[in-house]
Amino acid sequence: MDLLNLTAVEVGKKIQNKETSAVEATQAVLSQIDKVENTIHSYVTVDKEGALARAKKIQEQIEAGTLTGPLAGVPVAIKDNMCTEGMLTTCSSKILENFYPTYSAEAVLNLEKAGAVVIGKTNMDEFAMGSTTETSAYGITRNPWNTEHVPGGSSGGSCTAVAANECFFSLGSDTGGSIRQPSSFCGVTGIKPTYGTVSRYGLIAYGSSLDQIGPVAKSVTDCATILESIASYDKKDSTSYKRDSYDFTSALVDDVKGMKIGIPKGYFGEGLDKEVSQSVMAAAKELEKKGAILEEFDLGLIDYAIPAYYVIADAEASSNLARFDGVKYGFRAEEYNGLHNMYKKTRSEGFGPEVKRRIMLGSFVLSSGYYDAYYLKALRTKALIKQEFDKAFAKYDMILGPAAPTTAPKIGASLSDPIKMYLGDVYTISVNLAGLPGISVPCGIDSKGLPIGLQLIGDCFQENKILRAAYAFEQTREYKSPM
């Protein structure tokens, strides 16, 4: 049996049972990387030697009986916007082309404590701004299902690395759908937890009030297990939330009897691909067969989420990215005239077009005279969107819909029209504005041979409900691999 086809939890079990080892599992993904990386390009950095050394050390601890967890010895890939001590961390930007963090993100530390083996850093849209992984300064990533198509984004590399068996699981980050949309495009499972569940310490910030780290994997069981490992209350993140429970694996029960699932009519209107619509509705019917109660309803303000998001996210980005000034780390322009010109030259040469576009818009909406009209207006809209979700969750255990309106577009088809690209985030963005958990689970393949994702959205802190429904749905379907 080929090790690479196993899920993270399956390979972890085999490592504990001595049927394989952390070193063997690491060697297996490294040779797969050798084989497919030239075409897929999931990684910005592959730390071969470091990974093998870590695997060896972890294997010793497993044999000594000090590491017994489900992820001990399992190779993992980390999105390149999470700091990893001593390992290049670029955010897929030229401005961080030579940045070696002196500490690791809390989520990465939590994984290391659990014995996971960090293999390398995955490609992404520059600073997580994009939906296609085409804005990376280090080249595009291709979808393993069809290399003429994008993997989605911004956590594109994290999702292709899992789909192409270049790791057993990965971490992504999700500000407006950046875990769920590429998971959908690549046929893997990804969850964005409730805001505040996973520490953002060491995650290079884009939109701080929206960013969350989450797992990407081949199964719902993996996602629940990984989330249990990375979620923690962290004093170093002032928006970290002390939850009553960090148990997610107890949700893995094949039972949805009596669960009330709301289906927003507005999610199935204009702009939604017919095949995606049919596949997602067929998935809903599977849950109904298992005893869930489906009901269509009107979710208000759907069309207002994207404009509100781009004001808030870009405003926060313009402030967060002010730190990249060519002084403390990263790239500095070679020619300049004085300090201020050095800042300007460094930033203008170091950032790509999409990042500049968002910093410009963000600076504008925060500027005096426009702050109330744009920024505060967007924050008021956010409050109204949250109210709409509150109303929905008073009636339903979860909301069901697509993760994206289409399957993966062709490479080069999206960047020329930013607003059109932004519209592709219609089903994912409002979830971030309201701080909710959302999961994307593979539910079908379209006639072009590209995967379709089902999205389940829960109320705040109700990960276990969506994990349970996702798990129940997953039991009706075999995992399909592009490899």
Partner 1 sequence: MANIISDETIEYVGILAKLELSDEEKEQAKKDMGDMLDYIDKLNELDTTSVEPMSHVFPLNNVFREDVVVNGDDSENILKNAPEEKDGSFAVPKTVD
- Which of 253, 360, 412, 449: binder of partner 1 (CB under 8 A)? 360
Residue 154 known to be catalytic: yes
Q: By CB under 8 A, is residue 418 in contact with partner 1?
A: yes
Taking alpha carbons only, the member of 78, 59, 258 closest to residue 167 is: 78
Interaction with partner 1 in 267-306: which residues (CB under 8 A)? 301, 303-304, 306
Smallest distance, Å, CB 341 to partner 1? 8
Catalytic residue among 14, 21, 42, 79: 79
DSSP one-letter code for 272: -
Catalytic residue among 21, 170, 178, 240: 178
Q: By CB under 8 A, is residue 246 in contact with partner 1?
A: no
Strand-strand pairing, 189-192 and 212-217: antiparallel
Taking alpha carbons only, the member of 241, 255, 136 closest to residue 193 is: 241
Amino acid at 384: L
Question: Looking at 41-49, 143-151, 214-222, 351-359, which segment touches partner 1 (CB under 8 A)?
Answer: 351-359
Give me 37's structure tokens: 């990386």
Smallest distance, Å, CB 82 to partner 1? 16
What distance in Å separates the CA atoms of residue 111 and residue 79, rounded to the nearest whole number?
Answer: 13
Cβ closest to partner 1, residue 99 vs residue 185: 99
Q: Report whether 385 contacts 251 (CB < 8 A).
A: no
Smallest distance, Å, CB 194 to partner 1? 9
Query: Torsion angle, CA of 369/375/381/382, rounded to 10 degrees?
Result: -160
- Which of 188, 259, 378, 450: binder of partner 1 (CB under 8 A)? 378
- Which of 293, 357, 415, 481: binder of partner 1 (CB under 8 A)? 357
What distance in Å separates the CA atoms of residue 332 and residue 350, rounded to the nearest whole number?
Answer: 8
Question: Looking at 71-79, 177-185, 338-346, 437-445, which segment touches partner 1 (CB under 8 A)?
Answer: 338-346
Catalytic residue among 93, 104, 154, 219: 154
Interaction with partner 1 in 426-455: which residues (CB under 8 A)? 434-435
CB-count burial class (<10 Å; 0-12, 13-18, 19+) for 289: exposed
Smallest distance, Å, CB 157 to partner 1? 23
Taking alpha carbons only, the member of 3, 363, 393, 420 closest to residue 194 is: 393
Smallest distance, Å, CB 326 to partner 1? 6
Taking alpha carbons only, the member of 291, 262, 215, 294 closest to residue 472 is: 291
Question: Looking at 43-51, 149-157, 175-183, 323-331, which segment touches partner 1 (CB under 8 A)?
Answer: 323-331
Cβ closest to partner 1, residue 18 vs residue 328: 328
Q: By CB under 8 A, is residue 384 in contact with partner 1?
A: yes
Smallest distance, Å, CB 466 to partner 1? 17
Smallest distance, Å, CB 342 to partner 1? 5
- Which of 114, 252, 359, 429: binder of partner 1 (CB under 8 A)? 359
Is the peptide bond prior to 154 cis by the omega test (within 30 degrees of 0)? yes
- Which of 17, 102, 416, 447: binder of partner 1 (CB under 8 A)? 102
Q: By CB under 8 A, is residue 14 in contact with partner 1?
A: no
Cβ closest to partner 1, residue 183 vs residue 346: 346
- The string of DSSP letters for 175-225 reads SSSTTHHHHHHHT-EEEEPPTTSS--TTBPPSSTTT-EEEEEESSHHHHHH
Give me 325's structure tokens: 């000034």
346-372 burial: b if 16+ Cβ within 10 Å, else e: bbebbbbebbbebbebbbbbbeeeeee
Question: Looking at 11-19, 144-152, 321-329, 466-474, which segment touches partner 1 (CB under 8 A)?
Answer: 321-329
DSSP H helical ranges for 41-114 = 48-63, 106-113
Cβ closest to partner 1, residue 253 vs residue 360: 360
Residue 18 known to be catalytic: no
What distance in Å separates the CA atoms of residue 32 and residue 55, rounded to the nearest whole number?
Answer: 17
Query: Torsion angle, CA of 309/311/312/314, rounded to 10 degrees?
Result: 100
Q: By CB under 8 A, is residue 319 in contact with partner 1?
A: no
- Which of 281, 282, 307, 391: binder of partner 1 (CB under 8 A)? 307
CA 72, distance to chain mean position in Å, is 22
Instruction: Tell me how many residues contact partner 1 (CB under 8 A).
Output: 67
What distance in Å separates the CA atoms of residue 128 and residue 430, rounded to the nearest whole number?
Answer: 17
Helix or strand run (H / E) with residue 217: strand 212-217
Give me 10's structure tokens: 């399956």
Taking alpha carbons only, the member of 425, 359, 342, 84 closest to residue 206 is: 359
Q: By CB under 8 A, is residue 327 in contact with partner 1?
A: yes
Smallest distance, Å, CB 269 to partner 1? 16
Cβ closest to partner 1, residue 381 vs residue 407: 381
- Which of 147, 286, 336, 481: binder of partner 1 (CB under 8 A)? 336
Angle 145-151-154 (CA atoms, 0-180°, nearest 5)? Answer: 160
Q: By CB under 8 A, is residue 196 in contact with partner 1?
A: yes
Give me 123's structure tokens: 């490609």
Contacting residues toward partner 1, per CB under 8 A: 98-100, 102, 195-196, 209, 235, 238-239, 241, 301, 303-304, 306-308, 310-311, 318, 322, 325-332, 336, 338-345, 347-348, 351, 353, 356-357, 359-364, 367, 374, 376-384, 386, 418-419, 434-435, 460
